[in-house]
């Protein structure tokens, strides 16, 4: 009798693996983006040119930094409607201090710090007073936008005298790759890994999934929500500093409506409005999809008003899909 032990056959990837991949929101987004690339390559000869691809990357890289912050806040169960105004505040504070003679790097740090203070104010209202993120951030949006008008007198700040080394952050390139894209890539890699492996960010997920259970497990949920809120504001402040370097100006109305695009990108990428789910990589795909759609509409000479309607429809579809998926999971 043969007593030789034969090694077990390696398991072959079966339909279960493929089904699992197809059920991932990121996989669906990648397929949609690829389909858009193929379709637009036939619809417009300019779509796949390096200048257009570079423009798309530049357009969503800075907004993508804000999306990273918003994704973390959505996962914890919050939302921030003030990010557009906070981006503007960072630019206005930094620009005003620079015009007053402050070093541009220190001025930008002050702008980012002011953004963090706004986040701390929202976090205080949520964790101490008991307001919802929606109401607290809505009030902050109005207050901050008004503050930007007061500081600037309603007029844009011309910052053409910014030193070249500071403008390099927003306008320069390394080995042909814009610095803005490199900064965005580093932020995405760091926080995607942190969200998957980091202890604090796991607490973010637990808090958003079930706040009461997280509290019983010893997690200081109010502290987690406060830090996540401040983090979102700081990401918006960083984006504002980069925009200041990129544009060489600070307009008190800048960033109006940005919050809708940011929320839409995060939700399209898989972040739930009810908290507990989401990923940085998915959010990046969401903001990339919106950027591609915008670029496609421009190249196809679609009226600007129709472009806004299209973005609104995409937001409605994304939120509706999120609601349907949440209802399906709860069964």
pLDDT digits (tens, 9 = 90+) for 205-256: 999 988 899 989 899 999 999 999 999 999 999 999 999 999 999 999 998 8
pLDDT digits (tens, 9 = 90+) for 273-290: 888 888 888 889 888 888
Mean pLDDT to the nearest integer, 197-204 = 88
d(CA 210, CA 77): 9
pLDDT digits (tens, 9 = 90+) for 8-37: 444 454 455 444 444 466 777 888 888 888
b or e along 10-47 (b: 16 or more beta carbons within 10 Å of the residue's beta carbon)? Answer: eeeeeeeeeeeeeeebbebbeeebeebeeebeeebeeb
Return left, alpha or beta for 255; rule: phi > 0 is left, psi -120 to 50 is alpha, else beta: left
**pLDDT reported for residue 1:** 43
Q: Domains plus CATH for the chain?
A: 55-324 (1.10.3470)
This prediction has a pTM of: 0.86
The most distant pair of C-alpha atoms in the chain lies apart, rounded to whole Å, by 95
Q: How many CA atoms lie within 13 A of 220 on its CB side?
A: 7
pLDDT digits (tens, 9 = 90+) for 120-164: 999 999 999 999 999 999 999 999 999 999 999 989 999 989 999
- SS3 for 123-161 is HHHHHHHCCCHHHHHHHHHHHHHHHHHHHHCCCCEECCC
Q: Coil, strand or helix: which one is 250? A: strand
Would you say 58 and 181 are in contact if contact means Cβ atoms under 8 Å apart? yes
**pLDDT reported for residue 329:** 59
């Amino acid at each position: 009798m043969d007593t030789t032990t034969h090694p077990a056959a390696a398991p072959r990837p079966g339909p279960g693996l493929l089904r699992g991949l197809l059920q991932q929101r990121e996989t669906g987004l990648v397929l949609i983006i690829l389909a858009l690339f193929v379709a637009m390559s036939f619809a417009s000869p300019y779509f796949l040119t390096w200048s257009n691809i570079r423009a798309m990357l530049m357009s969503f890289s800075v907004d993508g930094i804000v999306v990273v912050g918003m994704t973390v806040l959505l996962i914890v169960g919050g939302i921030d409607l003030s990010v557009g105004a906070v981006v503007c505040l960072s630019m206005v504070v930094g620009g005003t201090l620079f015009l007053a003679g402050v070093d541009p790097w220190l001025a930008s740090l002050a702008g980012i710090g002011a953004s963090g203070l706004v986040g701390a104010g929202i976090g205080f209202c949520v964790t101490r007073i008991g307001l919802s993120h929606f109401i607290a951030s809505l009030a902050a949006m109005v207050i901050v936008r008004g503050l930007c008008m007061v500081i600037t007198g309603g007029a844009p700040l011309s910052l053409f005298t910014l030193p070249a080394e500071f403008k390099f952050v927003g306008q320069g390139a390394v080995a042909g790759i814009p610095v803005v894209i490199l900064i965005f890539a580093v932020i995405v890699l760091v926080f995607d890994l942190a969200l998957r492996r980091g202890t604090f960010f796991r607490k973010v997920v637990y808090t958003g999934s079930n706040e009461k259970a997280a509290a019983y497990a010893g997690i200081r949920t109010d502290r987690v929500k406060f830090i996540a809120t401040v983090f979102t504001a700081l990401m918006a402040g960083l984006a504002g500093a980069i925009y200041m370097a990129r544009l060489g100006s600070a307009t008190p109305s800048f960033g109006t409506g940005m919050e809708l695009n940011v929320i839409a990108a995060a939700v399209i990428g898989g972040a739930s409005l009810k908290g507990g789910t989401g990923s940085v990589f998915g959010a990046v795909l969401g903001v990339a999809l919106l950027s591609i759609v915008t670029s496609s509409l421009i190249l196809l000479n679609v009226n600007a008003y129709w472009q806004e309607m299209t973005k609104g429809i995409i937001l409605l579809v994304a939120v509706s899909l999120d609601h349907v998926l949440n209802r399906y999971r709860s069964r």
